Structure 1
Amino acid sequence: MAADKPLALTLGEPAGVGPDIALVAWTQRKELKLPPFYLTGDRRFLDSRAARLGLTVPTASVAVADAVGTFAKALPVVDIGVAATAEPGIPDQSSATAAITSIRHAVDDVRAGRASAVVTNPIAKSVLYRAGFEHPGHTEFLAELAASGAQPAPRPVMMLWSATLAVIPVTIHVPLREALTRLTTQDIIETCSIAADELKRRFGLSNPRIAISGLNPHAGEDGSLGKEDGEIVAPAVAALRQSGIDARGPLPADTMFHEAARKTYDCAVCMYHDQALIPIKTLAFDDAVNVTLGLPFIRTSPDHGTAFDIAGTGRAKPSSLIAALHLAARMAAQPAP
């Protein structure tokens, strides 16, 4: 995928902060040396939101091929044919269709080679669910869009990345009780294998070091605090090492994330959602990036939600989106393996 092509940025939930941070990010394009991007959405809606925020952001309806040339003087918008009408903080009947159509357009552009990567603004899952959306979230929907012909949907892996820490949860958006019953040795092996491959391919690491947490306190304390670490996690670590991956564990999760420990690995793989996300959101709340590994295209996203309570107020920080744009461009610039 050519690194000199624009990034495709989605609208996200129209009532959320996605439109706000996209507009603000564009105003900072020069000083932050942002890679060129265009937004798949409704230009009139963006103009309205910019006026509400008091921002002077000229927009231009463009074809993707013209986005790079337009970016310096106007925010390029590729029309998706769906009007967004939601007020800030108040999703309406247009919200789900606008958000989903924007994602589809961005993915189509990247898969067709018109854009170099997809950067997604936050969606409101509850709004999409009410409209009949059948996926747990962005990640699973993108995996379905990545399927083609007889090829099944790839297994997506969610990584939260920052310059300080990168983490991956094996089980993601499921209740903790269900996560414990779902966790298998094979899931850990597949997650870590995809992570190792993508860290080589997309991040340029020749031999990624992967630290794997235990499930129980103190990684089970030799079985006295639970058998899962010895019966589920340890066999996965052994299999990964046998395959040539630099993996170690199971490690006590409570000692994995201090500064000295972080220097010993490139990515921490944890057994459930909060075990992975609490440390990175503590250490890098404003600039962590959500990256989907295992797809045939690059996808990054801000690591925050729609923030309905501050949408349209001008208080939303664009730092995570800016980090997502920079990381997407960096990944797209990696030479083909």
Structure 2
Amino acid sequence: MKGEADMNLATSYLGLALRHPVVAAASPLSASVDGILRLADAGAAAVVMASVYEEQIVAQELAEAALWSAGQDSHAEMGAYFTPQTQTRVLDGRLNTLRRAAERAGVPVIASLNGCTDEGWLDFARQMEQAGASAIELNFSHIPTDITQSAQAVEAEYADVVRRVCAGVDIPVSVKMPSTFTAPGHVVRSLLDQGAAGVVLFSRFYGPGLDIAVLEPDERLRLSTPGELNLALMWLSLLSARLEGSFAAGCGVWSAADVVRCLLAGASVVTTASALLEKGPGHIGALVTGLRAWMHAQGHESLADFQGRCAARGTPEEARAFVRREYYRLMTLPVERVTGA
């Protein structure tokens, strides 16, 4: 058996050849060139750049337009100070960050886009491609606040955005999707049919809490927990062997054991952000080292030896029976198993 240093951890994600399956997810750590380079230097196989939000870009453009208009009307010489060429735009800065990081990181840099209009999704995706992104991750966070909008209509909106973006760019597109769909498996299949190269299961819902002292939204950002990984594991195991596409685990990956679990369920990669925010970019090395140690202990020489081993491969009826059986088993555990006593 080969030594730990000889383990082959290579994997493929969205058609990108990666050294290993640990990817740095979009977070404040990947918002700058220096941050992206730190993550790459720490060993990330790829880095997802912090999301570009359409609202932020539009707000900046509107503010500049107002300033430009006011400047021209107030003084004849103001145009020399506020020209279209010298205006600072949010998108220009983000694209410049992406361009410089893609040139220097030495690993694929995946652009993350959080849009809200048809034009925004496609226009920004094209500009990200031109700036050197290896792939684009569409980060959906739509909350259907219109109570007359059906689930089918929401799903159709997602599918339409993915179809437009995939048709408009030549680089791979993935979808980081929420877990709140009635039938996530059907939605994933639809998104892959529209051209997506893969999906990330799942994005987190960062809804504000409520501060009862001041009766205002509590906007503190809370990190994920390892327990949040279980839902992604279930859907990874149910879908990865049934659908053609790359699957990534996207919420709750904190330990090397979590990485192993995701790979056993059929993930191509894991993406992690909360663990890196708390422990620092160097935690990437601990995840990779732990994965390599587990593989060595189990006698595996490559990811292919065990990747997807726990993925469901039976009929839908067999999968349904398995999920129901596990649910029943957990809900009928004796009290000492529930409390840990």
Normalising by structure 1, report the TM-score.
Answer: 0.30
Q: Which one has the bigger helix percentage?
A: 2
| Higher RCO, Cα 8 Å, sep 6+ | 1
